[in-house]
Structure 1
């Protein structure tokens, strides 16, 4: 009997949560995009904690890592992982600067159209300014506290790396709360931001490897 009630509760609550997400109307999309663009233009720097969940079907549990993000307009981004290991990745002037526990390396991504596009995608997703990108089909939905935009690559080569790119926005201030990158295999990486600080001073030295 208890199992039946638990199953009934699960079905009912799942239905309620699913029903909360609905497709945006044309008018809602226009309003939402304006809100995001206004927030993006007013954002010069971002500091934020993050937790990253790497989901792979063959693993029972997601791989969880955490750290801090630093962003400085127009295109400097640093992902600094602190748990369970120390590792940093910096996107800077068409270069990818990596520091793996003290072992440093540099990758030129400017010569590769694919990696340059992925870099732009990451930078713009952090800032929330990617709605005019003609390389994606974009769908919009809304929930009680969040707005969601899902970007599906039109380019077949890019689609071989990313099946979709999902952004979750706070309804109040249009800040990006979550980023989800779904691979063609359906494995995905989900990044959840917290303790976000906007427009504080971030020295350029932060983005040195």
Structure 2
């Protein structure tokens, strides 16, 4: 029986490009872009992509009655969060002064302007946009990093980042003026600040690893 994947549609994010990338790496999977809570609950795996502002994201999740479905998926089955799909898992977000889903403890601050200085003294821009290295964190490489070299470059677009309370869930870090968490892993949940669907072969490999992952 084909593995079913729900790509959560809350009106934001590169839904189609994420779905197409998953179909490319797992052609036998049944991939559905959906805003139906029952379909999310029934799926074997759940992906929550995202881009845009946290206040809009949280409002749309609520209005589409998807909050509980996403929280359950993040605690019960293989779950991949992307960009805002990572940020929403935490608590207070500075963007719009809103609360996330609170699946994980921590906050979502904006890059501090005073720290946006490169090694050569030049100013760094916010949003952090473009290719940047991800340092893999942890004593044992996470299964989603399989076949992906440490310090591989992925594509980022964001002005805010997550600060997890529990450092043991940090699976990747990246430097843009400051060192920030760019990937988290906790039990059945993996989430990244970068966009694997825009990150060429490394991004496709991460998505393929997710489809084979048995947490």
- TM-score interval for Structure 1 and Structure 2 normalised by the shorter chain: under 0.3
Larger Rg: 1
Higher RCO structure (Cα 8 Å, ≥6 apart): 1
TM (norm. structure 2) is 0.25
TM (norm. structure 1) is 0.26
Report which of the two has the higher share of helix: 2
Report which of the two has the higher share of strand: 1
